[in-house]
Amino acid sequence: MLAYIARRIVYVVPIVISVALVCFLLVHITPGDPLVAVLPADASQELAAQLRAAYGFDRPLPVQFGLWLLRALHGDLGNSIATGRPVLAEVMRAVGNTVTLAIAAAIIGFTMGILLGLIAGYFRETWIDKVATSFAIAGVSVPHYWLGMVLVIIFSVQLNWLPAVGAGPNGSNSWAWDWAHLKYLVLPAITTSVIPMGIVTRTVRALTGDILSQDFVEALRAKGLHERGVFRHVIKNAAPTALAVMGLQLGYMLGGSILIETVFSWPGSGFLLNSAIFQRDLPLLQGTILILALFFVFLNLLVDIAQAAIDPRIKRG
Amino acid sequence: MSELPLSATADAALQAAPATKARGYWATVGRRITRDKVSMVCALVLLLIFLSAILAPWLGLEDPYKGSMIRRLRHIGTTGYPLGTDELGRDMLARLVYGGRLSLVIGILPVILAFCIGTSLGLVAGYVGGKLNTAIMRTIDVFYAFPSVLLAIAISGALGAGIINSIVSLTVVFVPQITRVAESVTTGVRNMDFVEAARASGAGPFTIMRVHILGNVLGAIFVYATSLISVSMILAAGLSFLGLGTKPPEPEWGLMLNTLRTAIYVNPWVAALPGAMIFAVSICFNLLSDGLRSAMDIRN
């Protein structure tokens, strides 16, 4: 097991460096001068050159990348051009809110997905299966930002039950576990949960169906095992793949939250990314994307390790 | 029963057998999918949406760009404006129909481009193998380290708003996914006997790839690509929704959803209409892709 973990960690190193390179290069495919946001329109040539040197934009690209990577390893992702505050602190504060949202959505989406998938797979080709599958298809096909709007229309505008935007009363940005804050989490979490719900349903349904049609299930039933026992075998066999899919989905929720956070003005990393893009705050853009991508890479690593821990076939491979 | 001697029926059966066998794989797939009711309904809905988008100027609709301050945000069902008007008093029906033009192009074009690029890359990586395979596939892995929404937004955020940039960024998102599928099916086919036979008969690598491999892998890659259209539609409209794609006053579903967001307190259901169009197209493509997949799975 330890050898497997070591092998997976070694494999992650080049990925992390390449991810950093992509994030670094993003700024350099940007048309226009990265200093546009800070330079006054009537800035003199000297001032521009001075600032360029201050940000290090005057050095050759590989040198810039090396220096940037070295600083990043020390936790220094530069300062936001718009606010002047350190990028890392800004991103980490926002990521906390995104994690809250993603976990709430994961609890809803994964529970629903597993239940619907198991039921649909068990009662394959019946009306129950059709209903569950339709739910799943709708879940993966719905533009979630639009679903968020529709939920706001129903529950905020029409019924006035839940708040439409924000993450807490009086524009509060810090999360707390009380009903006043929880109310703000309901709609964004439901909206975020529909895609993972659909994907987990489809995965679990397919897995359940496949496993139930295998010979060993026949053998279990033939020796007189009750259905609950058969079900336990199904779950055990479906778990590694289902876990991998759910891990990936959690990563997508963390990294792809920008649309939903924009709809609900949820002060997370996606919201931060949105403002970084439109204020052309390139260090912040770069830093946010880097941190979110690293989260994704490490989540994948964790999933691989967890998968190997429950499925002994994997680490032998 | 029939008076015919046994040998005659056997002969008839022998003659009939090649006739049914002669129907090619794709003809069988076509026949199977036309029998699938869900797929046919989806195809019909998509056909209607495509036709109305293409024929928009000849449908006698209002001018989708002409607004009027005195008829802003009319409700659905207002005489003269069957689907109401938007925040600038423009006819919603006309804007939804015209909006299909851009929305469908920016949603589908990235998948088509990625299909061409990804299939070529995957075919070469899978057939040539060795160092080239490693180089292509490890580069692809880097893109897999980003969640697709993040990658699309990172690229179009860095490139800036615009239709071309949005198409480019989505193409970059889908190329790795298609390349991976293409590489894996090509690797599965390339060691089969008929490829070996072609090589033995003196066919060059280009001919083998084009004639012997492409024909056998294209179907699988194509089905996979069709399943991406739904995601692509949602993401393309999503980029416009964020302000990274289409620019006003162009009618485009994602952008319309964005500009109508402020109207949800005044006229909520009109504001939700453009999203319903995205949903309809996306779900139809998904169901059609599922139908195609099971129609191509002849074993069942």
Per-residue pLDDT of chain B (300 residues; tens, 9 = 90+): 444 454 545 555 455 444 455 577 888 888 888 888 889 999 999 999 999 999 988 887 878 888 777 777 777 777 777 777 877 778 888 889 998 999 999 999 999 999 999 999 999 999 888 899 999 998 898 888 888 889 999 898 888 888 999 999 999 999 999 999 999 999 888 888 888 888 888 888 888 888 888 888 888 899 999 999 999 999 999 999 998 988 888 899 999 999 888 888 888 888 889 999 999 999 999 999 989 988 887 765
Tens of pLDDT, residue by residue over B34-93, are 888 889 999 999 999 999 999 988 887 878 888 777 777 777 777 777 777 877 778 888
Query: What local confidence, expressed as pLDDT, does residue A110 receive?
Result: 95
Contacts of A274 in chain B (CB under 8 A): 242
**Which residues of chain A fall below pLDDT 50?**
none
Contacts of B252 (CB under 8 A, 6+ apart): B99, B102, B103, B106, B237, B240, B245, B246
Q: Where are the alpha helices (DSSP H) in B129-267?
A: 130-144, 148-159, 163-190, 193-200, 205-207, 214-242, 253-259
Cβ-nearest to B278 among A30, A143, A277: A143
CB contact under 8 A, A145 and B282: no
Neighbours of B267 (CB within 10 A): 20
> Full-prediction pTM beyond 0.90?
no
Of A170, A193, A194, A192, which Cα lies nearest the Cα of A181? A170
CB contact under 8 A, A138 and B241: no
CB contact under 8 A, A19 and B142: yes
Q: Which two tokens stand for residue B52?
A: 């109305």
Tens of pLDDT, residue by residue over A145-195, are 999 999 999 998 888 888 877 777 766 666 677 777 788 888 999 999 999
Contacts of B143 in chain A (CB under 8 A): 22
B289 to chain A: closest CA residue: A137
Residues B61-87 as b/e (b if ≥16 CB within 10 A, e otherwise) read bbebeebeeebbbbeeeeeebebbbbb
Amino acid identity, position A54: A
The CA-atom distances, in angstroms, between B257 and each of A78, B166, B261 are: 35, 17, 6
CB contact under 8 A, A143 and B237: yes
Q: Does B299 touch chain A (CB under 8 A)?
A: no
ipTM value of the model? 0.86
The residue whose two tokens read 């399943």 is: B227
B238 to chain A: closest CA residue: A259
Query: What local confidence, expressed as pLDDT, does residue B2 receive?
Result: 45
